[in-house]
Amino acid sequence: MTDDIQRRTSERMTKSIEALKQELTRIRTGRAHPSLLDHVTVNYYGNDVPLSQVANVTVEDSRTLAITPWERSMIGAIEKAIMTSDLGLNPATNGPVIRVPLPALTEQRRKDLVKVVRAEAENGRVAIRNIRRDANTELKNALKDKLISEDEGKKSEDQIQKLTDQYVKEVEAILEQKEKDLLAI
């Protein structure tokens, strides 16, 4: 019983870490990477689909993304989708390839992005603590229903706290790396 609760808790905390990483990939650093455009959707014959399903996104150099649409007729729709996204990018078409230059980040913009990253990390820590709370509640209910002994309950609470500490440290490491990436010139 307690092993099952710990396993589910660990799985949920891992998913929280993955969600944090996914959210942080959307916050751009000075370098180009294809995942920057992962959340951009393009109108494809009346349906909104992810950009990666209508084009190939590659890194041309450290500050430029190259997008090659599968269909030439999609160039206009892809450009429009990128321009209307929250990224503040201006694509330029060159024949069958759309180039997206990433402007250099100003010092003020970097500091603003660091604040956003810290807020996302705090959301990740809160999510992990909420998972801990849920697991402890589940343990207390099992203890109340006499499904586990007090010793087992206490031992499991300690294990869940260790898991929580481990995942919070992982959030801190991710935050530190992202801040380092943002502040690097």
Q: Examine the pLDDT at 123 and tell me if it is beyond 90.
A: yes
Matching residue, tokens 């950009």: 51
Q: Which fold has domain 2-26+106-183?
A: Topoisomerase I; Chain A, domain 4 (1.10.132)
Q: How far apart are CA 93 and CA 137, in angstroms?
A: 56
**Residue 29: band (very low, low, confident or very high) from pLDDT cuts 50, 70, 90:** low
Are 82 and 102 contacting, i.e. CB atoms less than 8 angstroms apart?
A: no
Q: Which fold has domain 34-101?
A: Gyrase A; domain 2 (3.30.1360)
Domain ranges of the chain: 2-26+106-183, 34-101
Which tokens is 5 given? 């609760």
User: In this predicted structure, what is the pLDDT of residue 158?
Assistant: 93
The per-residue pLDDT for range 56-114, each reduced to its tens digit, is 988 888 788 899 998 888 888 899 888 887 677 888 888 889 998 887 778 887 888 88
- Rg of the chain over Cα atoms, rounded to whole angstroms, equals 22
**Mean pLDDT for the chain?**
87
